[in-house]
Amino acid sequence: MGRKPTQAANTALSPDPTPQREIRRAQVDMDFENQSLLVPLFGQFDANLVQIENRLGVFISARGDTLHIEGPEDSVARARDVIQSLYDRLAQGQDLDTGAIESVIAMSNEPTLDGIVNADKSAPPISIRTRRKTIVPRSKAQAGYMHQLAREDVIFALGPAGTGKTYVAVAQAVSQLITGSVQRLILSRPAVEAGEKLGFLPGDMKDKVDPYLRPLYDALFDCMPPEQVERRIASGEIEIAPIAFMRGRTLADAFVILDEAQNTTKEQMKMFLTRFGQNSRMVVCGDPRQVDIPGGDRMSGLADAVGRLEGVDGIAVTRFTAADVVRHPIVGRIVEAYEGPNA
The highest-level CATH class for domain 1-125 is: alpha beta
What whole-number distance in Å separates Cα of residue 5 and Cα of residue 86? 22
50 vs 54: CA distance, rounded Å:
6
pLDDT of residue 197: 46
Topology adopted by domain 128-339: Rossmann fold (3.40.50)
**Ranked by mean pLDDT, which of 73-82, 117-126, 304-313 comes out on top?**
304-313
For the chain, which residues make up each domain, given as ranges?
1-125, 128-339
Q: What is the pLDDT of residue 342?
A: 62
Beta bridge partners of 129: 134
Q: Hey, CA dihedral for 7, 85, 322, 198, is it positive or negative?
A: positive
Of 313 and 97, the structure prediction assigns the larger pLDDT to: 313
**Mean pLDDT of the region 183-206:** 64
> What integer is the mean pLDDT of 101-108?
77
What is the distance between the alpha carbons of residues 256 and 16, in angstroms, rounded to a whole number?
Answer: 56
**Between residues 201 and 80, which one has the greater pLDDT?**
80
Sign of CA dihedral 208, 212, 217, 218: positive
